[in-house]
Amino acid sequence: MAYFRNLDQKIKELLGLFEKDQRWLIVINADPDALASAMALKRIMARRVRAVGIAHVNEVSRPDNLAMIKLLRIPTQKLTPLLKAQYDRFAIVDSQPHHHPDFEDIDFSIILDHHPLKDEPPQAEFREIRPDYGANSSLMTEYLYNLKMRPGKLLATALVYGIKTDTQSFERPFSDVDIRAFRYLTKFYNPLLLQKIVRSEFRKEWLKYFSQAFKKVKILGQGLSVFMGTVDSPDILVILADFFLRVHNVSWDLVSGLHDDKLIVIFRGDGLRRDMGKMASQMFGDLGTAGGHRSMARAEIPLSKLERTHPQQFIWQRLGDYRKKRGRQEMAGWNRSEE
């Protein structure tokens, strides 16, 4: 049995896109899995095209992401119209064009992702989307393996970290491919570099938010909610949401705050009873971007959509409506099961 699936036909199609005079830009919504995947695709394209760049659409401010970029020497830049104009072909990894407004006006030739598909798959000359994979880094490892490209120490470390973060150290859903990719990459990675990145979790100036959150937390049965008010970065909301899910007997949490004229809500759950992606979509999908995975999700709502309602009150109203609706759905399910 082969260690990874055979990708001969896929490799032929992918390499057939590359020409020596082309300038390619790999566009990402930067997080560890996306950064590692972009690094891998850049390695595949190297020497096959004239130039390859990496650009991110989001603000990179989380300490672990910054440490990863610095220590693993990932040459990513903020996407701007001027930067975009310097390239003639575009690829996207660990995302699909509908995932971010800045992706929507780009004509992608390559899409490599592991997130769920929409009803209509995105169009591209080359596309592979594997929702059954826990991390896009695993998919990229398959391609490197099939191309007989042994990953260098920095690339292998990046891919290991991409798998580790997106599977939450194999606590979230994962596949056999994720396990095989992780095992294969650990032959080449630098464990001390990985440890340095993993430990870069907090900024000193973020410590004040923890004391504020402890005072503001509201317990809701097996869940909890915290409204933080205005925050310097949405990343602190993610940090707090991950932290509160570690509290005994808390199975889900919802941490929210204001940033750049938007209400940002981070959802986390244990994945057992509630689907946080569906919860986010049902609560806020009519007002902004909302959705995610079963155990983690995010919503962003322009403050203008709140119609002068205080953000915390707005969240409570939406959460109350969601719980009522969910209660009715569960009751209907119980009644049907009794028939």
Contact 28, 56 (CB under 8 A): yes
pLDDT(329) > 60: no
- Cα 161 from chain centroid? 13
Q: Tell me the pLDDT of the chain averaged across its residues.
A: 91
Confidence of residue 335 (pLDDT cuts 50, 70, 90): very low
**What domains does the chain contain, in order, with CATH numbers?**
10-198 (3.90.1640.10), 208-332 (3.10.310.30)
pLDDT tens per residue, range 185-221 = 999 999 999 999 998 877 888 889 999 999 999 998 8
Contact 105, 130 (CB under 8 A): no
pLDDT(232) > 50: yes
Question: If you search the block for the tokens 């990459």, which residue do you land on?
Answer: 185
Contact 112, 10 (CB under 8 A): no
pLDDT(331) > 70: no
pLDDT (average), residues 42-49 = 96
Question: Among residues of the chain, what percentage have pLDDT more than 90?
Answer: 73
Confidence of residue 95 (pLDDT cuts 50, 70, 90): very high
pLDDT(105) > 80: yes
Please list the alpha-helical segments (H only) found in 61-133: 63-71, 81-84
Phi, psi at 87, each rounded to 5°: -125, 155
